Amino acid sequence: MKLVGIAGSVEDHSYNRTLLKFIANHFSDQVDVELLDIQDVPMFNQSDDQTEGEAVQYLKRKIEGADGVIIATPEHNHTITAALKSVIEWLSFKIHPLSGKPVMIVGASYYDQGSSRAQLNLRQILESPGVDAVVMPGNEFLLGDVKQAFDEHNNLKDDRTVSFLSETLGKFLKFVKVINTMNAKPADEGWKSEDLQASGSVPTTIKGLNMHADDWVDQATAKTNAVSGNTYVRLDCGVLTVDQLNYFLNSMPMELTFVDANNQFLYYNHQTDAKNMSASRKPSQVGNPIGDCHPKRAIPHVKQAVHILRTGKTDLFKLPVPSNGEKCDMHYYQAMHDAKGDFQGINEFVLDILPIVKYYLGLTGQKLVKDPNAKTDAVSGASAKEQTDDVSGASTDTETVPTVDDVSGASADTEAAPEEQPKVDDVSGASSNS
């Protein structure tokens, strides 16, 4: 489960931020808590609309992508801070990421009562029209005398306090599941409209060329006057020649593939012949729409994979591809974004992790031992009890997210008829004989 934590303070040293960090670290085996800062959020001013500003949009994306929110509030004059109030104003002015979102309130204060009155104030704000958060009733965690509560490592000293915090967090996690189940929307079928034939265009699309031409790269180079050789290219953090870029990318210890936002296959680092690659690619395929890089039976799953990255359901998911024990290929699909956060395509990188594991075991003198109590999926290694997205940790609609078998082609059901199971190279392009 994925939660985000927001401390309602912009102070350099905030005990409420310290409390959230403790929750994130101490309970990391139960939940993934990502801390969000509000220092960069401007004070609310309706006449100077900053809704589309980077700071506000960042909070919006993170909250929408989480299963729930924990807010740690200080108490200023019996209320929450002006900074926290301003943040909630932005998040309820034209956008409403907190609407329907499960929220837990905690707080720390110098005094015995903790932040009780600020928590009551915050609860009323969060439940107001326009915000519409779903705040868990009761279940309050009030940390008083906070200056004495933490040790030198920022851990809570009192075992009873930790135990009570564990109890309240456990109740909240159950509350999150209930609320999100109630709020569950019908399966998103937007993936069906993904155009894998790249028939549209994006600003960088090179128009007027046959995408299926074997010499597409040569034609595209001629049409755009693309630079090559020792021509210098300025990058975000450096200046390299085109040749140097090729040296650099071709020496990467992984196979890289670039697919643009129009679903057109534009690049791969040509390290070796297709027959020796984990994800088989040929120079003549560059320029093709990705719909032509996969068998027809795999197209629905490819559309699902592209759609969850395009729509921000997750920015990364990973899929293991089975082999004969000599390799352990992992296929990673990473969404790419521009400076504004807009989707710009997919970076697929394929890495054989077995040499890394073997090196680490040799370096440390350790060995892999089977856990007799583990109940894992034979293909993915994911817990059979898990109902969450293996990468993001956020609960997902399993009807809309392709499973390991769907995308990699690995068969989890060894009894299934072969024709019903896509082969390894249905989606990844990896050779089923590798």
Q: Within a domain: residue 19? A: yes
- Which pLDDT score is estimated for 278? 85
What number of CA atoms fall less than 13 Å from residue 189's CA on the CB side?
1
Cβ atoms of residues 395 and 388 within 8 Å? yes
Query: Is residue 177 pLDDT above 90, yes or no?
Result: yes
Dihedral angle over CA of 351, 357, 363, 365, nearest 10: 180
Four-point Cα dihedral 58, 60, 61, 63, nearest 10: 120
State the CB neighbour count (10 A cutoff) for residue 352. 19
Domain check: are 287 and 420 in the same one?
yes
Structure confidence at residue 385 as a pLDDT band (50, 70, 90): very low
**Residue 365 scores a pLDDT above 50:** yes
Q: Between these two residues, 23 and 322, which has the higher pLDDT value?
A: 23
Q: Are residues 39 and 76 in the same domain?
A: yes
| d(C-alpha 208, C-alpha 309), whole Å | 28
Q: Which residue has the higher pLDDT, 269 or 115?
A: 269
Residues 157 and 291 placed together within one structural domain of the fold: no
Distance of CA 357 to CAs 285, 320, 364, 367, Å? 33, 15, 11, 10
**What was the pLDDT predicted at 425?**
41
pLDDT at 412: 31
Confidence check: pLDDT of 353 > 70? yes
Flag whether pLDDT at 47 surpasses 70. yes
Strands (E) in 329-395, as ranges, are 329-337, 343-352
pLDDT value for 429? 41
Q: What is the DSSP string of 72-108?
A: E---BTTB--HHHHHHHHHTTTT--TTTT-EEEEEEE
- Per-residue pLDDT of 148-164, as tens digits, reads 899 999 999 999 999 99
User: How sure is the predictor about 78, in pLDDT bands with cuts at 50, 70 and 90?
Assistant: confident
Q: In the prediction, which pLDDT does 375 show?
A: 59
Nearest to 285 by CA among 368, 217, 335: 217
Same domain, 57 and 137: yes
pLDDT value, residue 376: 54
The pLDDT of residue 219: 96
Q: What is the per-residue pLDDT for 337?
A: 95
- Region 260-278 average pLDDT: 90
Give the pLDDT band of residue 374 (cuts 50, 70, 90): low
Would you say residue 119 lies in a domain?
Answer: yes
> What pTM was estimated for this model as a whole?
0.52
Per residue in 180-227, pLDDT (tens digit) is: 999 887 777 888 999 999 999 999 999 999 999 999 999 999 999 999
Instruction: Report if residue 226 sits inside a domain.
Output: no
CATH at residue 338: 3.30.450.20
108 and 142 together in one domain: yes
Q: 205 and 127, same structural domain?
A: no
Average pLDDT along the chain: 84
pLDDT given for residue 380 in this prediction: 40
Identify whether 221 is part of a domain.
no
Write down which residue in 160, 182, 204 finishes a domain: 182
Q: Look at residue 111 and tell me if it is in a domain.
A: yes
CATH number of the domain enclosing 12: 3.40.50.360
- Give the C-alpha distances (Å, rounded to integers) separating 42 from 6, 48, 71, 86: 16, 10, 19, 8
In a domain, 140, yes or no: yes
pLDDT digits (tens, 9 = 90+) for 115-146: 888 899 999 999 999 999 999 988 789 888 88
204, 141: one domain:
no
> Could you tell me if 207 and 168 lie in one domain?
no
- Could you tell me if 119 and 205 lie in one domain? no
Q: Can you give the residue range of the structural domain that contains 402?
A: 193-214+252-426
Whether 431 is in a domain gets the answer no
Residues 267 and 172 in one domain: no
Q: Are residues 149 and 203 in the same domain?
A: no
Based on the fold, state whether residues 25 and 164 are members of the same structural domain. yes
Q: Taking the CA atoms of the chain, what radius of gyration do you get in angstroms? A: 25
Spell out the long-range contacts of 48-54 with Cβ–Cβ below 8 A and sequence spacing 24 or more.
49/93, 49/94, 50/90, 51/90, 51/93, 51/94, 51/95, 54/340, 54/341
* Whole-number Å distance between alpha carbons of 86 and 45: 9
- The answer as to whether 240 is a domain residue is no
List pLDDT tens digits, range 315-348. 998 888 767 677 889 999 999 999 988 999 999 9
The pLDDT score that the predictor gives to residue 139 is 79
Q: Is the pLDDT of residue 107 over 70?
A: yes
The structural domain count of the chain equals 2
pLDDT tens sequence across 410-424: 333 333 333 333 333
